[in-house]
């Protein structure tokens, strides 16, 4: 991946489902840090430790898609989280 990045054929390096431990291990040997870590994130699985780690290292967290599993969890969000609830529902309806 680093060779593709160096040659200009890849704009960035992305990893999938890396925990903070795996990312830390990768940092020790990689020349080019990944720009994105694609993981499962939704209201029922927020992964705050991973989010904090990625934010501290400048990685962007990405989700592949919002699944239908979230529908029940979205409806269960309290009204105080209405903005988040509305955004997730909009994503599900697209």
pLDDT tens sequence across 56-79 = 988 888 876 554 455 545 455 455
Nearest to 49 by CA among 13, 24, 32, 86: 24
Q: What is the CA radius of gyration of the chain?
A: 16
pTM over 0.85: no
Q: Cβ–Cβ contacts within 10 Å for residue 91, how many?
A: 13
User: In the prediction, which pLDDT does 5 show?
Assistant: 92
Q: What is the secondary structure of 34-92 as a DSSP string?
A: -SEEE---BTTB--HHHHHHHHHHTPEEE-S---TTHHHHHHTS-GGGHHHHHHHHHHH
């Amino acid at each position: 991946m680093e060779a593709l990045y160096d040659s200009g054929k890849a704009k960035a390096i992305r990893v999938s489902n890396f925990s903070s431990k795996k990312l830390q291990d990768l940092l020790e040997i990689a020349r080019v840090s990944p720009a994105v870590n694609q993981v499962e994130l939704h209201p029922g699985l927020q992964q705050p430790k991973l989010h904090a780690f990625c934010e501290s290292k400048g990685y962007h967290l990405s989700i592949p898609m919002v699944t239908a599993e979230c529908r029940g969890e979205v409806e269960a969000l309290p009204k105080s989280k209405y903005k988040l609830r509305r955004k997730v529902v909009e994503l599900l309806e697209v």
